[in-house]
Structure 1
Amino acid sequence: MAKGKAVSSKGPKVSAIKRRNISQTKASNKRKKATGKTKNKFSSTQIGKNASGAGGNLGNLGSDGEDVEEEVLPDDMVDDDHMEYLETMGQNISFVTDTIDEKKEERGDKKRRKNDEDEVADYEELPRKQFRQMETEDRKYLHLLPIKGERGIIPQVMEKTESDEEDIIEQGEEKEELVEKKREVNVTTLPETLSEVELFKLKKETLARRKMQIAKLAIRVMDSPQEALSSLKALRVMLNEEDRQVAVTVRKLVMLSLCEVFKDIAPGYHIRTRTDKEMQQKMKKDVKQLVEWEEGLVRQYQLYLQHMEDIIKACTSKKKAQGNKLPMKALQSLMEVAVKCMCELLVSLMHFNFRTNIMSVIVPLMDHSNPDIADMCCDTVKKVFKQDRQGDSTMEVVKLITSMVKSKAFSVQPRVLETFLALKIKEIKSKDPEKEVDKKMKEKKEMLKKGSRAQRKRAKREEKLTRELLEAEATENQKRKLDLNTQTIEMVFLTYFRILKKNRQSVLLPSVLEGLAKFSHLINVEFFNDLITVLRELVESGSLSYRETLHCMVTAFQILANQGGVLNIDPLRFYTHLYASLLHLHAGQDTDDTTNALECIDIMLNKRRKQVSMQRAFAFLKRLCSLSLQLLPNSTLGTLAASRDFLKVFPKTDMLLQIEETQGGGMYLPELQEPEHCNAHTTALWELHHLNRHYHPHVRRYAAHLLRKAPSEGAGSLPPSLDRKSPSQLWQEFDPSEMNFNPSIPGPGKGGKN
């Protein structure tokens, strides 16, 4: 029964195909063992045995897969044809196992392919010297492409002939010519046969091509900065133009173009370098692109600045830079352009990277022997002082200037220190911060003692709210700015005091005195006594010029007018010297000296009028009216305005307007240098009658106004355009230095009549 067979102990049923395959495998294994040592070198007896063995094995398998009794045939019964067939089949060992080894052959094909590839690679790495061993003096060979056969790679060689050698030499020459032509693409060759006109034409064409290339690259960068970083790099690479005919011009154009490009595409913030932790963080695609562009922009900007710095160093250093093929004149012209670009970048990109590096290059050039370069750098520093709102850039520049002046032992040009006059420092940090802290602590203690619990809570809330409001109003920035201004002005005064102490005969003294006169309200009280003593010695020495003397007096009056009042200092000598030096002013002298004199008189009248006696007031009023006769119209208006201030501050001085009547005894002594003893009250202001017939209409009007005792309204009063302006403002408004008439001269009327 079928069920009985299925559960019999003989095991699972094996198909006939499987049993046949098993028997074939056993037979092939036996043959391999028998023939493994001989490797296809069989004798006739062995072939017969193997054939008979194989035939017996094959004969043992029936059609249904069952075993069949073996039939052993003697050798005499085997025909010759059968023996030949068996011998030929015996040479092919796998003729029985063709069906078994199909998969092995497929695997073998893959291994062969790999082996073939390895053979090709090995052949390519072989040195060609080994093939030259075959050559002799008579025979030389050409190495041809190899042939790949069953045995592997077969090298191919052919004997050389004379024609082949000539062809090889010609091919080598052609390659060398091509290489030379490629090198000559960037450098224009100039044949000796060209005339000057042709050379000029060639240079013009080359320059036009370079200009077009620069323009295309610059426009591409400015249109899409983040996508055209490669164009920016290509434009920067053009700084190394090698064509001698247009090298200098092209480099100048590229420097100026890059300056404008960076001013246009640079962001309005400082790009900082990423930390190692930030570089490991993952970013979005847009953020990553922006970061990569910023890093590329900073890199190109740095290389651009380094190139210009190298040009400047090549010109300023005593030793000529190595590898520089341009003449010194060309380098100097490149230097001027480089300095101009760096100055513009410092002013326009003060917030951007490498600001300190640009300052360190520009500041030493302020003392350059070339006046154009020095003036350019000084003007740039003044612009930085005026445009800086935070104060950090100003402090960096002042620090560099002071260190440079000290390193050169104060032997610099006056224009270097004159840049300090452009500083916009009007307020510095208080010198007594401890008093403010003590005041706040006292208020808190009083609140704890007197105030109730509810009041204390309310005070805390108010204090917190006040702190938040101060933060919203950027009070912290204001404190930081005051700190920076304090540090800056301390460095400036330190430089000034060193020059006053050690180098009083220096050419920098006028700049120092002018700076002290401007910033005298910021000088610490501790230095007042010593500074006044030094200024008095300088004035009395007689070694100073008139302008330097006026600066000394302005500084002294500013110190005495602000915080010097608490000190026991007698300014009589300064008043005496000012009174004696006023008549040195005249129309042929620099008009800036008039403003300094008017400033001294303004301080004396407005800030120290209580310390001025009546005799001194009479003397200065008479000296101003006498001075007005020998000045230009703008200076005359300034002195008349100062005279009017005397009449208003000291009303008794109007007695000098009465010519017929005089008061007091004695006679006026104009040559006496002491204003207290010249008897100015006994004279009259007859100069105003001469000024009443002056050629300038505003001078005539002002003189008539004073002759009527300076009324504020009614007949003889001044229009608002003259009445509300100070002496310095009138001097500046009617300044004739630009050769303009104010008011303008009217043209002829009808019929040729005015």
Structure 2
Amino acid sequence: QVKKETQKLREFEEGLVSQYKFYLENLEQTIKDWKQRKLKKSNVISLKAYKGLAEVAVKCLCELLVALPHFNFHNNIIVLIVPLMNDPSKRISELCVEAVKKLFKQDKLGYASLGVVKVISGLVRGRNYDVRPEVLKVFLHLRIKEVELQKDSEDIAPKKKFMTYKEKRKNLSRMQRKWRKAEEKLERELLEAEASESKEKKLKLHTETLNIVFVTYFRILKKAQKSPLLPAVLEGLAKFAHLINVEFFDDLLIVLHSLIASGDLSYRESLHCVLSAFHILSGTGDVLNIDPMKFYTHLYKTLFSLHAGGTNEDIGIVLQCLDVMFAKRRKQVSQQRALAFLKRLSILALHVLPNSSLGILATNRVFMQTFPRMDLLLDNESQGSGVYLPELDEPEHCNAQNTALWELHLLQRHYHPTVKKFASHLIAGAPTEGSGALPLDLSQRSATELFETYCMKGMTFNPPVASVAPRRKDTFLQRDSFVDEELKKQLQQHISEMVTHKPLDFAKHLKESSLA
């Protein structure tokens, strides 16, 4: 009887897999038919009808890709979906890109992610780097972080509930308790071994995945520097730079600097280069004896490219750069450099939107609390020798110690109430407590969080503007308006005389002259 049930179950599973395979082949054929009809331009069935069927087939494949990463033929689905990310049809391309993003976000182990990354790398190389930037941007959604690795290993390790001492004493004999204790010890050792094995396996998968991603990035940096894919590559390097092997650091920093020096990059692309360089130097690269002064100089020189008339999104990248350049490298930054950036950022805060001003002022607050003697710029008297040179592009030699943060007094009159609070707080020396301290809801937020919280993308003001009640018109009361009766009588007499007065005839002289 057991054999019959086993045979029945096996036949059911084989039938299910067979029909599932047949279903996938039908979906694939539907997409191929649409591609062929596009080339042949047949009029038997309209191309629009074929396209509708193809979109449904792609949607089905995308849902299967996300929902069944552990089931049969998943690699076949990946091979079908990844090339469609580069499809000319915007609808089909978006469906596939979103499906791959979802797969990356929910993939804890890394098997499915590795399969997709391999196919994407082959696609980019096979098309000679002529693919849509969205194809590479999906790499930004890979779940490869040290924190997530620790958390996921805890999730993967099964949690066995062992009996308490009281339960054992109540339910088991002495000999049974002895055997149970030995069994539990063995089970704990097995669980620990499984957890460490799964963690090692996942680390190995993630390492292999990242190696393929970096190989793809480096090929584009080497062979296709003027490709539309470059922004996606720089953004990816900025995110994963701290995970790059130390052996590549020198070469990568040279490439990043040469890209900036070439002048071919847009402002945002150059910011991603700076961010990538400092992610490298702030991670395992901090052991290297490399002076990144040229990257500090580039950012200092180009800060005034930001203004309220341009895109506001670049400010977010600048705030990330400043965080990793100063807050995380405070021991390697000189006082002159910190003073120069503090002054230039204060000037910049006058030229940008309120949420950008808040992000910049929050960064200035970090400067004043992190670096010594920043309060030099709050005094009117100049310190040391020389004159402040605001147009000089070298932060180390602009004599920033000889100026003052007069911009904060202008920001105290800003129309945004939160900007006013921050400016007053900085004028007081950025104290952590007392009357000049910020409220907790502002002091505990980072510069990037403030920038995003007070963003005006939705055309709304934060905090909301208080509604003004309509002003009531003044009314003149006729009854009991005057306390002085004598004055009241005189006014009534004057009004009555005005009523009985004859109206003026302005045409009187004209009439007399015409009669004469």
- Alignment TM-score, normalising by the size of structure 1: 0.55
2:378 matched to 1:657? yes
Q: How does 1:244-393 map to 2 (within 5 A)?
A: 283-285=3-5, 287-317=6-36, 326-393=45-112
Correspondent of 1:711 among 408, 431, 454: 431
Equivalent-residue separation in structure 1 for 2:434 and 2:427 (angstroms): 14
2:415 matched to 1:695? yes
2:313 matched to 1:592? yes
- How far is the alpha carbon of 1:391 from its aligned partner? 0.6
Contact (CA 8 Å) 2:38, 2:47: kept in 1 or not?
no
Partner of 1:244: none
- How far is the alpha carbon of 1:509 from its aligned partner? 0.9
Contact (CA 8 Å) 2:41, 2:47: kept in 1 or not?
no
2:354 matched to 1:633? yes
- How far is the alpha carbon of 1:291 from its aligned partner? 3.8
- How far is the alpha carbon of 1:292 from its aligned partner? 3.7
Equivalent-residue separation in structure 2 for 1:338 and 1:321 (angstroms): 21
Partner of 2:464: 744
**Structure 2 gap ranges (5+):** 150-184, 474-516
Contact (CA 8 Å) 1:314, 1:320: kept in 2 or not?
no
SS at match of 1:676: helix
Equivalent-residue separation in structure 1 for 2:59 and 2:191 (angstroms): 44
1:335 partner letter: A
- How far is the alpha carbon of 1:370 from its aligned partner? 1.5
Equivalent-residue separation in structure 2 for 1:340 and 1:720 (angstroms): 47
2:192 matched to 1:470? yes
1:537 partner letter: S
Equivalent-residue separation in structure 2 for 1:553 and 1:538 (angstroms): 10
SS at match of 1:516: helix
Correspondent of 2:275 among 530, 554, 578: 554
Higher RCO, 1 or 2 (CA under 8 Å, sep at least 6)? 2
Equivalent-residue separation in structure 1 for 2:448 and 2:271 (angstroms): 15
Contact (CA 8 Å) 2:368, 2:375: kept in 1 or not?
yes
Q: How far does the alpha carbon of each residue in 1:655-710 deviate from its partner, in whole angstroms, 9 at most, with x for none? A: 2112x322122221111111111111111111111111111111111111111111
- How far is the alpha carbon of 1:323 from its aligned partner? 11
Equivalent-residue separation in structure 2 for 1:699 and 1:322 (angstroms): 61
SS at match of 2:31: helix
Partner of 2:395: 675
Contact (CA 8 Å) 1:336, 1:373: kept in 2 or not?
yes
Equivalent-residue separation in structure 2 for 1:645 and 1:393 (angstroms): 42
Partner of 1:504: 225
Q: How far does the alpha carbon of each residue in 1:466-500 deviate from its partner, in whole angstroms, 9 at most, with x for none? A: 7434136x222111111100000000000011111
Q: How far does the alpha carbon of each residue in 1:235-292 deviate from its partner, in whole angstroms, 9 at most, with x for none? A: xxxxxxxxxxxxxxxxxxxxxxxxxxxxxxxxxxxxxxxxxxxxxx96344x555444
- How far is the alpha carbon of 1:362 from its aligned partner? 0.9
Equivalent-residue separation in structure 2 for 1:745 and 1:678 (angstroms): 41
Q: How far does the alpha carbon of each residue in 1:93-114 deviate from its partner, in whole angstroms, 9 at most, with x for none? A: xxxxxxxxxxxxxxxxxxxxxx
1:574 partner letter: F
Equivalent-residue separation in structure 2 for 1:500 and 1:529 (angstroms): 15
2:252 matched to 1:531? yes
- How far is the alpha carbon of 1:317 from its aligned partner? 4.2
2:207 matched to 1:483? no
1:493 partner letter: F
Distance 1:509 1:470, change over 3 A: same
Contact (CA 8 Å) 2:253, 2:277: kept in 1 or not?
yes
Contact (CA 8 Å) 1:392, 1:484: kept in 2 or not?
yes
Equivalent-residue separation in structure 1 for 2:382 and 2:325 (angstroms): 26
Partner of 2:504: none
Equivalent-residue separation in structure 1 for 2:124 and 2:362 (angstroms): 41
Partner of 2:289: 568
Q: Which range is displaced more, 551-560 or 737-746?
A: 737-746
- How far is the alpha carbon of 1:424 from its aligned partner? 1.4
Partner of 1:520: 241
Contact (CA 8 Å) 2:37, 2:47: kept in 1 or not?
no
Q: How far does the alpha carbon of each residue in 1:55-93 deviate from its partner, in whole angstroms, 9 at most, with x for none? A: xxxxxxxxxxxxxxxxxxxxxxxxxxxxxxxxxxxxxxx
Distance 1:611 1:318, change over 3 A: farther
2:452 matched to 1:723? no
Distance 1:319 1:739, change over 3 A: closer
- How far is the alpha carbon of 1:318 from its aligned partner? 7.4
Contact (CA 8 Å) 1:654, 1:709: kept in 2 or not?
yes
1:330 partner letter: A
Q: Which range is displaced more, 510-519 or 324-333?
A: 324-333
2:415 partner letter: Y
- Alignment TM-score, normalising by the size of structure 2: 0.80
Residue correspondences, number = 440
Contact (CA 8 Å) 2:330, 2:371: kept in 1 or not?
no
- Identity percentage of aligned residues: 53
Correspondent of 2:364 among 643, 652, 655: 643
Of structures 1 and 2, the larger Rg is shown by 1
- How far is the alpha carbon of 1:407 from its aligned partner? 0.7
Correspondent of 1:686 among 388, 406, 412: 406
Equivalent-residue separation in structure 2 for 1:588 and 1:289 (angstroms): 71
2:417 partner letter: P
1:629 partner letter: L
